[in-house]
């Protein structure tokens, strides 16, 4: 069962250990701990929560990004399988130097989650074991989930457009080409 005192204790301990890097540590609804930190200490904070906190939040269930226009945020959802309690750990970083140390060494879950955040928000994960694109095509340009992303007029998911003048073709002005291949 969720025990608020535990989370308060963890919050106090977090404040003691990561005084400067820690922006917020509180429990605003029963059973969910909210933590907000600077990008630099995210690995240490997660390691503390997973290994040393009493009781710990040993596993990562989800990670995702958010774009707050003045900064980017990556949110990690840690959980405790015995009770189902969760902790949301947020890491803030500047938009123009969006670099975060990877958590893939700590949690296997982080591998795909970070790949998705990287392609959607343009966050670089330092030391990620497999930094390829995950959901988007390999030649995609831009970070679609950022607030300032504008969808190009026409997106070609093929290496080459089907027609040499795609705009005219789409407007119905050009005949379709018939090729041998």
List residues binding another protein (CB under 8 A): 31-32, 58-62, 64, 66-67, 75, 77, 81, 83-86, 88, 107-109, 111-113, 134-137, 144-145
Nearer to another protein, 69 or 173 (CB): 69
Nearer to another protein, 10 or 89 (CB): 89
Pull the structure tokens for residue 154: 């026409």
Nearer to another protein, 157 or 171 (CB): 157
Give the Cα separation of 137 and 38 in Å (integer).
31
Kindly write down the DSSP assignment for every residue of 156-180, as one continuous string. --SSS-SSSSHHHHHTT-SPPP---
Provide the CB-side half-sphere exposure for 118 (13 A, CA): 24
Residue 12 C-beta: closest distance to another protein, Å = 23
Give the Cα separation of 89 and 39 in Å (integer).
11
Residue 141 C-beta: closest distance to another protein, Å = 16
**Which DSSP symbol is given to 50?**
I
Nearer to another protein, 58 or 166 (CB): 58
**With the C-alpha atoms ordered 132, 71, 145, 74, is the resulting torsion angle positive or negative?**
positive
Kindly write down the DSSP assignment for every residue of 18-53, as one continuous string. STTTEEEEEEEETTEEEEEEEGGGHHHHHHIIIIIS
Residue 172 C-beta: closest distance to another protein, Å = 27
Residue 96 C-beta: closest distance to another protein, Å = 20
Nearer to another protein, 86 or 101 (CB): 86
Residue 73 C-beta: closest distance to another protein, Å = 9
């Amino acid at each position: 069962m969720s025990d608020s005192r535990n989370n308060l204790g963890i919050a106090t301990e977090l404040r003691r250990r990561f005084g400067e890097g820690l922006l917020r540590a509180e429990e605003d609804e029963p059973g969910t701990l909210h933590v907000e930190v600077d990008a630099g200490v995210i690995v240490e904070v997660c390691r503390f929560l997973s290994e040393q906190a009493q009781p710990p939040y040993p596993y990562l269930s989800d990670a995702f990004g958010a774009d707050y226009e003045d900064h980017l945020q990556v949110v990690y959802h840690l959980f405790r399988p015995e009770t189902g309690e969760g902790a949301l750990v947020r890491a803030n970083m500047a938009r123009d130097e969006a670099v975060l140390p990877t958590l893939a060494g700590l949690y296997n879950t982080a591998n795909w989650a970070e790949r998705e955040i990287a392609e959607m928000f343009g966050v670089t994960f330092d030391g990620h074991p497999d930094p390829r694109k995950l959901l988007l095509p390999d030649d995609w340009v831009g970070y679609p989930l950022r607030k300032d992303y504008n969808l190009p007029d026409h997106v070609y998911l093929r290496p080459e457009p089907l027609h040499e003048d795609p705009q005219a073709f789409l407007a119905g002005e050009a005949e379709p080409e018939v090729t041998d291949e």
